[in-house]
Amino acid sequence: MRSSSWLIRECGEDVEIMLFGTSMGGATVLMTSGLELPVNVKGIVSDCGFTSPKEVFTHVLNNMYHLPAFPAIQGADLINRKLAGYGMDECNAKYEVQKAQVPILFIHGSADTFVPCSMCDEIYENCRSPKRRLIVEGAAHAESYYKDMAAYEKALDEFAEEIF
């Protein structure tokens, strides 16, 4: 993991790291949970992360644009396999968290129509490492912090106290 290696070099061997991401960044940090992370990585925070590109794009096509996923998803998957070397469901956070070794805080808005809260539930249920969850009532996509700053900051503070 290049960025954490750079951070360790820059800040010293005793630096403690919390990975944090929102939306695609949330899915990305969840995907790293299944990797062998440096011991400096103490925890992961995912705010409205999704399961896989295939599942989120299917949801968006069906629910936001009222279009069938077929053939668009299959076409995109084929192109992705050719250009990137893997399918759109092969990078799936719900599978990676089954191998997680560090604690994870999941944050999601109950009113997220872009990445449904059910994806957070699915990932959370598959997570094998210590975990916490904050569902912010009425928050849309990437809106949890603004909808309930007190609860968000409290969840982050408690998580940080637990992992550091």
Going from the N-terminus, what domains does the chain have, and what CATH number goes with each?
16-33+41-51+92-163 (3.40.50.1820)
pLDDT of residue 52: 97
The 3-state secondary structure of the chain, one letter per residue: CHHHHHHHHHHCCCCCEEEEEECHHHHHHHHHCCCCCCCCEEEEEEECCCCCHHHHHHHHHHHHCCCCCCCHHHHHHHHHHHHHCCCCCCCCHHHHHHHCCCCEEEEEECCCCCCCHHHHHHHHHHCCCCEEEEEECCCCCCCHHHHCHHHHHHHHHHHHHHHC
Written as tens digits, the pLDDT of the chain (164 aa) is: 566 788 899 999 999 999 999 999 999 999 999 999 999 999 999 999 999 999 999 999 999 999 999 999 999 999 999 999 999 999 999 999 999 999 999 999 999 999 999 999 999 999 999 999 999 999 999 999 999 999 999 999 999 999 99
pTM for the complete prediction? 0.93
Task: Report pLDDT for 1.
Answer: 52
Which amino acid type is present at position 30? L
Beta-carbon-side half-sphere exposure of residue 71 (alpha carbons within 13 Å): 3
pLDDT at res. 155: 98
